[in-house]
Structure 1
């Protein structure tokens, strides 16, 4: 298992989506059945209520690294710059000082520049941190997502995490490398789907109140069982709790090999 926290720490338990009933026997689609099974394995989280700008900064810090590495960087950033208006403080920050502060997150020179640029834009367009937070919570999700994607260094996964964890928007299923890999291996998204196509497939097939949970639970499943190179089923067919609902696209227990689902010759896409 990867060296990760017991719980996915990107979400938090403030705010909330509606309570979801995780019952695989009543699932309407295979994708919902997968999320329901994960619901029995892990935990039910509630989303929303986090500050939009804090969530955006936190997600940028988490890019291309683990929560273990990025959380200390976030804590150090908040300790140094969190007093008063965060966006104003970061817009005025000296980039070398900010880079040093967030160094545990990796790519700190690149991330410090992105954070300062975004802080400056937030101040210019929304006045302060609170103004940006209201925008994330209150404006149409499509408008928020489009605006976030225009910001330097913000991709679809980062934008969707802000919509989910800060905006509390239902029907948002952020796709990171774990979700992208697992959804295609299981056969609940097309084998050749890119991140956006996986997101579309999951948001179409999973009820909106379960999408946020599905995201974090699938990440945890990827860390514990369905890793990139050595999924649990390679060592023991019975070791994976999802074995009976998995199509094993690109996974070959008989040879101990794995390939990207898009390169699997037997791949026929999702149901």
Structure 2
């Protein structure tokens, strides 16, 4: 999915995982002196601009379902789908995995239709629910695995599930497992990290994740991820980054290599195109 496609007019201005209603607990970042890397300095600045949170505690299977619903769509579209799904298949005393494993796919597809790609997503959710019931006994067992299992093993297991990619796996580790050192990479993070020079211009999503996680202390990765998304919505957009209006328009300009951005001509290209053109 292109950056332009994600940054549609219906994307909400506020990152759903940030602010007072986005979950997580407010924390004060550890005062550990000067940042050891430019990426850490960027995350520190983002934390001052937006929020500093420690994430974790969400139900593991619900988090997995919520993240699948968010794939290739905006929060504005996926949140109503999640709410409708929980209203129909969840509730007190109901094991969500068991409920969804027995769901009729066409009815589930109708329930989550606002999220887009509803036939594909409903098939994935029903299949994953069945696997969770078979292998973990239900949502509670899966939640225990996500929160107490070895993080590398949890991530590997999630990635073995058809329909679960690196970003989805990392979001489950972060928002449910509360694992430090996890920096999920969505289209905003992928663009910003390469544009700023925090990762190679032609890096794929996994290479960006590896570069940032190696350079940012684990306890800062969670809010670094959510705050960078917010920064991408407000300042470092795909087509019209704030720096085109002059260096004073972007609060992070001193940390940015502006790869793919030509202030004089106003041209903005994907950072990987700069490498291709050389």
Q: TM-score range by the shorter chain?
A: over 0.9
Query: 1-side partners of 2:174 and 2:161: how far apart?
Result: 18
Match of residue 133 from structure 2: 123
Q: TM-score under structure 2 normalisation?
A: 0.91
Task: Tell me the residue number matched to 2:254.
Answer: 244
Distance 1:264 1:213 in 2: 30
> 1:254-265 alignment to 2 at 5 Å?
254-265=264-275
Q: Which residue pairs with 2:57 in the alignment?
A: 49
1:9 maps to which residue? 16
C-alpha distance in structure 2 between counterparts of 1:35 and 1:116, whole Å: 37
Unaligned runs of 5+ in 1: none
Q: 1:200 aligns to what?
A: 210
Deviation at 1:4, TM superposition (A): 4.0
Are residue 112 (structure 1) and residue 119 (structure 2) matched? no
* Alpha-carbon shift at residue 98 of structure 1 (Å): 0.4
Q: Distance in 1 between matches of 2:203 and 2:277?
A: 11
TM-score in terms of structure 1 length = 0.93
Using a 3 Å threshold, how does the CA distance of structure 1 residues 262 and 6 change in structure 2: closer, same or farther? Answer: closer
Taking the aligned partners of 2:31 and 2:100, their CA distance within structure 1 comes to 41
Gaps of 5+ in 2: 1-6
The secondary structure found in structure 2 opposite 1:57 is helix
| Residues 26 and 52, structure 2, Cα contact 8 Å, conserved in 1 | no
2:179 paired with 1:169: yes
When the two chains are superposed, the root-mean-square deviation of aligned CA atoms in Å is 2.0
Please name the residue that 2:35 is paired with.
27
CA distances 1:121-164 after superposition (whole Å, capped 9, x unpaired)? 00000001100000000100011001100111100000000000
Number of aligned residue pairs = 266
Matched residues in 2 for 1:49 and 1:169: separation?
Answer: 10
